[in-house]
Structures are given as structure tokens and as C-alpha cells.
Amino acid sequence: MILTFSDSEEEILNKIKSVLVCENTVEFMDNVNIQKLRFPSLEIDQLQRCVIREDKTVGLTRHEYDLLLYLALSPNRVFTKEQIYQHIYEEAESEVNNRIYGLIKNLRKKIEENPEEPHYIETIRGVGYRFRA
């Protein structure tokens, strides 16, 4: 996080809040493997289950977070909608396409600069989705 003299008071407070939300509070523990996935303008903190986009905490639902983490842990790997659904919901369902499409759409709105031209979550037509690092 970088603070500049041109930042407004509100911008500075938002940056400080986002750092505090994801700050590692278990430094005293030995042998703790804290995993943070870092991508350009996006960070996923697995310990705190939070996502930071351009120094701001992104509010994700449980399923949105699980989906993002699932894709981001295997960048550039293509997952079918069925694979994603089974991982996220751990059950069989006939409405796989609609539920995954809705989840992807909501997640893109929250993490993509332009959800209409996504950088991170790419649609592989007729197959599924992949996370581009």
C-alpha cells in the first residue's frame, strides 16, 4: 500500500482499513503457513479469507470467495462448470449452468476493473472458466 500526499483523508482511511482487515494477527504463532496469493492489483489472503483489490477490501460471499480461491490456486487451468459446482457446493445439481454463471457474474463485478472485459476470470466457451494470473 502506498500513501501519497494527494490522497484525500477518505482514501487514506480506506487504505488503512483494508490493511487492518487483512493484517496478520497471529505473528506470535510459530510454524504457521500463511498463504497470500498476489496478482496485479489483487490479493487473496487465505488465512483471513479476505480479498484486497487496489488497496480496498472486497466484500465477497462465502461461495464467491471459494470460487475465486479455487480458480486462483490453479492459474491458467481450465475448470468445467461441473467441477466448479462440485467444489463450491459439494453436491449434485441440475442447475449447474445458471448457478455458476450467476456466481461468476457477481464475482467479476467485484474484482474486475471492467467486468465486461474481464482480466482475471476468463470464459472458455463450451467448457468453463479459468483464472489468468
What is the model's pTM? 0.67
User: What is the arithmetic mean of pLDDT over 109-117?
Assistant: 94
Whether 28 shows a pLDDT value over 50: the answer reads no
C-alpha grid cell, residue 79: 475448470
What is the DSSP pairing of strand 79-80 with strand 128-131?
antiparallel
Instruction: Note the pLDDT of residue 99.
Output: 85
Q: pLDDT tier at 90 (50, 70, 90 boundaries)? A: confident
Q: How far is CA 25 from the centre of its chain?
A: 21
Instruction: Note the pLDDT of residue 15.
Output: 61
